[in-house]
Every structure is written in structure tokens, then in C-alpha cells.
Amino acid sequence: MCRYGIPKNIVSDNGKQFTSESVIQFYEKYGIQNTFVSVEHPQANGQAESANKVILMGIKRRLDKEKKEWVNALPQVLWSYHTTTHSTMGETPFKMVYGADAMIPVEIHSSSWRSSIESPLENAKAMKTSLDLVDEVREAAHLRKFTVKRRAARKYDSKVIPREFKEGDLVLKRPMGRDKGG
């Protein structure tokens, strides 16, 4: 919270670490809205599940037979995930958090087309400017994400065949919780 501020929303499962009295009081004190997702239906938290899927695929690509070494591959996979432009947002997660593009360590101490060596005062001013613009970057990404989702919904809806059900029609009903489609 010291680094990134107080979150507006937290999505979690119904675990005790998220539902205890002290945590509920903490949420209320800071005005944090908590949305609970069923443990049996993690797809409801689509963003986290999508990120986990990409991270897991990245780890699997880096590992051959040494599956126990996944922890060593995780930092590189996370760096890749955080510095890759996401198509729905049009930005990298790194830029969404810090308001600037990430730099690899080699770029930090040398001038390049992406960086220049500045005095500490000039650097502090540039960082403040970037942080002032981070809300605009986030808003633009949010609008782009909304537009992409709306476009995808229109495309999906155009292919849906409308069906009308009448009393007495036969339908297939699956019991809840039996399979992933349930």
C-alpha cells in the first residue's frame, strides 16, 4: 500500500485470510470493496486466471524435465509478462503501474534512443511528470480495453442464433458442479 496506494477493489476466494473480522474491518476502514469468487468456479476471476495461464505457459516453455526448477524460471517469465504489450490495453502492465516503459539493466547506465543520462534533479522531475501522467495512461488503456471487449461482444452476438423456447419444449439440463461446463 505504501508503494502503490490503497486498492479500490480486491477479488478473492472465500478463504479465512480474506473473510476474517480483522480483514473486513480493514476493508471498511480504507473503503476497499471485496468481491468474492467461488473456489469451485475460478473462471469468474477471468483476469487473474488469464494471467496465470500465460505465466504457466511461460514457465512450461522454459522447463524441460526439471519441473522442480520452476521457481528459478518465474522471475524471467514475470518480467516478460510485465513488459509485453497486452492487446486489450495497448500497454504493458509495467507502464500501467509506473507510468513509464521498463528498461533493461544494460540501458540504465548508457545513453540510447530510449534513455539519456540526467542529473538526479532532472531525473526526479521526469519521474514526477511520468507519475502525473500515469492516470491518463490508465484511463486510455481502460477505454481501449472497453472498446476491444465491446467489439468482441458484437462479433460474438452477430453469430448467435436466437432461439425461442415454448412451454413443453425439451431442453438439456446439466446438474451444477458435475463438470466444467455445469
Question: Which amino acid type is present at position 3?
Answer: R
* Rounded mean pLDDT, 61-83: 85
Q: What is the pLDDT of residues 21-68, one digit of tens each?
A: 999 999 999 999 988 887 777 777 788 888 889 999 989 888 876 777
* Rounded mean pLDDT, 105-125: 72
Q: Can you give the pLDDT at residue 40?
A: 75
Question: Rounded mean pLDDT of the chain?
Answer: 83
Q: Can you give the pLDDT at residue 77?
A: 92
* Rounded mean pLDDT, 87-111: 82
Q: Can you give the pLDDT at residue 162?
A: 86
Percent of the chain with pLDDT over 70: 90
**Confidence tier at 70 by pLDDT (50, 70, 90):** confident
Q: Can you give the pLDDT at residue 182?
A: 43
Q: Can you give the pLDDT at residue 117?
A: 65
* Rounded mean pLDDT, 144-156: 91
